[in-house]
Amino acid sequence: MRIAAWVIGAGAALPGGSERAIFRCVEPTDALLAARLAAGDDHALAEAFDHLAPTVYGAALRVLGEGSAAQDVVQDVFVELWSHPDRFDPAAGTLGTYLNLLARHRAVDLVRSELRRLARQARHHRLTLDGHDPSPGDAVAAADTADAVRAAVSLLPDDQRRAVELAYFQGLSYREVALATGIPEGTAKSRLRLALAKLETVLDRQLLESS
Amino acid sequence: MTADRQDHAVPTGLRERIMTASRQARPAGLAVPQITPDSPMEAFSNAADAFYQLLITLSARDWHLPVLRDLDVQGLVGHLVGVERDVQRCIAGDEAVGSANHVESTQPVALAQAGRAPAATTDEWREAIDRTLAMASEADLDANVAMHGVALRLRDLLVARTFELWTHENDIRAVAGLAPSVPGASTLRPMTELATALLPFGAAFTALHEPIRVHLVLTGPGGGTWDVAVGEPSPEPSELGIVTDVVGFCRLFANRISPADLDVFVTGDSTQATSVLTAAAALALD
């Protein structure tokens, strides 16, 4: 393909690169990084990881206290950033804060999911007289997180601990928890919400102390 | 970026695992939100519609404002009538238009507009556009064509014409005191594809021989990320990252701004970046 100047207008660059304009250099900012991510710049993702992954990993570890699950959370967080960079609003805070919050929420979701799993497991054992034992690998993998969660639950105030045990370990509904403990259904709900919020904090502190 | 929490050493291998998972979720280079780019015909038609909307809002005084070279607005529209006629000759297989000069070939039609009613010039231009669209719709868009010293596929010629219409629309807007216009993202996308595809030729035209692998990131709707090799072929080219706004880059490509007017984030040699940006403007259409 022969390429020649179609028509070079006034002020056009001269052949030989003799024109040496100086552009305006911009500094890297979170807004620029988000714009680069939206444009599909994977170098920007690598830069974000190199700069922020240690704190994101730390945020996940503080909730989960377990390396493998925390790594999964870090992966979720960065894949989310790459897939939906528009969800980060630079006007609302720094990218570091956004990713740390995302990591914390994902980690707490994992804890909640583990509580639900424990509840299902307890229900299953109650209903199945000759249930099969889990594989040794599964048992070891679940044990660390389960122990941490059970320890955290034991530290809750009595009324909240009782509500969590009924709802998550025995699988009762809000209404059934309310009936079993003689409190209104709304109170049961708020007691469970308070308990979950406290669990997040307790798990944080407990895991920090053990690390 | 601010590290506002306690850091922990990241396990070995996590970076690679996350980069791989991310690229599986969305391939590198693919901008979000995703858009469906205009076809070359759509892009050209959209640019023509925008130009027409501008023409019908101009005042009688606006039509006589000096705008480009020795042309007033009406003369510039006449120039575009001449360009359409040459495009039609090109599609029809007239080889002489391949070596015709962009200005000399169209100047008689441009000068012939003097003294005519602006509406007559507008109508003549619109009819010429419609004729180009009708001929292109019957033609093989992948056919190689040559016009005004440029050889390229017909589909690329239509996108180049999209650039020209948008550029001249904004030439007129500037002299009439109107705000500049920006094409929609779906129209900008084929324009940026063409501009980045021509970057190596712009580099050759400006004698930029140094082998450079340019990681070009154009931000904003219609933008994207491209890896473009410029200069002499080499197994180990220099790596250069350039990030700038997509509309600014298109204005640079149209030679309506200089690199000095652009906000650019560079990783690599800034002198090379200046050379590459200068090359981007070297194949400007007027």
Which residue among A110, A133, A158 closes a domain?
A110
CATH superfamily of B189-280: SCP2 sterol-binding domain (3.30.1050.10)
Identify whether residues A106 and A151 lie together within a single domain: no
Structure ipTM: 0.90
B52 or A130, which is more confident? B52
Contact across the interface for B150 and A24, Cβ inside 8 Å: no
Query: Residue A54 maps to which CATH number?
Result: 1.10.1740.10
> Smallest Cβ distance to A38: which of B8, B31, B160?
B31
The predicted pLDDT at position A2 comes to: 29
pLDDT of residue B214: 98
Residue A103 shares a structural domain with residue A152:
no
Q: Are B188 and B222 in contact (CB under 8 A)?
A: yes
Residue A211 pLDDT class (50, 70, 90 cuts): very low
Residues 234-263 of B with CB under 8 A from A: 241, 243, 255, 258-263
- Asked if the Cβ–Cβ distance from B283 to A6 is below 8 Å, we say yes
Q: Rounded CA gap, A45 and B25, in Å?
A: 13
CA distance B258 to chain A (A): 7
Provide the domain limits for residue A194: 147-211
Whether residues A160 and A206 share a domain: the answer is yes
With contacts defined as CB-CB under 8 Å, which chain B residues touch A86?
Answer: 32-33
Amino acid at A96: G
Q: Chain B contacts of A3, Cβ < 8 Å? A: 150-151, 198, 201, 204-205, 283
Q: Taking a contact as any Cβ pair under 8 Å apart, which residues of chain B between 12 and 71 contact chain A?
A: 14-15, 17-19, 21-23, 25-33
Q: Sort A63 into a burial class: Cβ within 10 Å, 0-12 / 13-18 / 19+.
A: buried
DSSP, residue by residue, B162-179: HHHHHHHHHHHHHHTTPP
Which of B15, B26, B207 lies nearest to residue A15, judging by beta carbons?
B207
Domain assignment of residue A131, yes or no? no
CATH of the domain at A173: 1.10.10.10
Domain boundaries, chain B: 40-178, 189-280
- Residue at which a domain ends, from A61, A95, A110: A110
Measured CA to CA in angstroms, residue A80 lies from A63, A109, B29, B42, B277 at distances of 19, 15, 17, 34, 33
Cα distance from A211 to chain B (closest Cα, Å)? 11
Token look-up 């122990």 returns A147
pLDDT range class, residue A117, cuts 50, 70, 90: confident
Determine the average pLDDT of the residues in A101-105: 94
A45-60 mean pLDDT: 96
Regions of chain B where pLDDT drops below 50: 1-4
Residues of chain A found within 8 Å of residue B255, distances taken between Cβ atoms: 8-9, 11-13
Question: Taking a contact as any Cβ pair under 8 Å apart, which residues of chain A between 30 and 89 contact chain B?
Answer: 30, 32-33, 35-36, 38-46, 48-55, 57-59, 61-62, 67, 71, 74-75, 78-79, 82-86
Q: In this complex, which of B201, B217, B281 lies closest to A13 when CB atoms are compared?
A: B281
Which tokens in the block code for residue A141? 């993998």
| Nearest alpha carbon to residue B280 among B266, B265, B257 | B257
Strands B150-153 and B144-147: antiparallel
Domain B40-178 is found in CATH 1.20.120.450: yes
**What pLDDT, in 10s, does the model give residues A134-184?**
566 555 545 656 666 777 788 788 888 888 888 877 777 778 888 888 888
Residue ending a domain, choose from A56, A90, A110 = A110
**Residues contacting residue B120 through CB under 8 Å, at least 6 positions apart:** none
Structure tokens at B107: 């100047």
Residues of A in contact with B146 (CB under 8 A): 2
Query: What is this structure's pTM?
Result: 0.78
Q: How far is A96 from chain B (nearest CA, A)?
A: 6
* Model pLDDT, residue A11: 32
Number of domains in chain A: 2
Residue A53 confidence (pLDDT): 97
Return the percentage of chain A with pLDDT > 70, whole number. 72
| B32 neighbourhood in chain A, CB within 8 Å | 38, 40, 83-86
Taking the C-alpha atoms of residue A201 and residue B160, their distance in angstroms, rounded to an integer, is 60
Asked whether residue A136 is assigned to any structural domain, the reply reads: no
The dihedral of CA A201, A205, A207, A211: what is its sign? Answer: positive
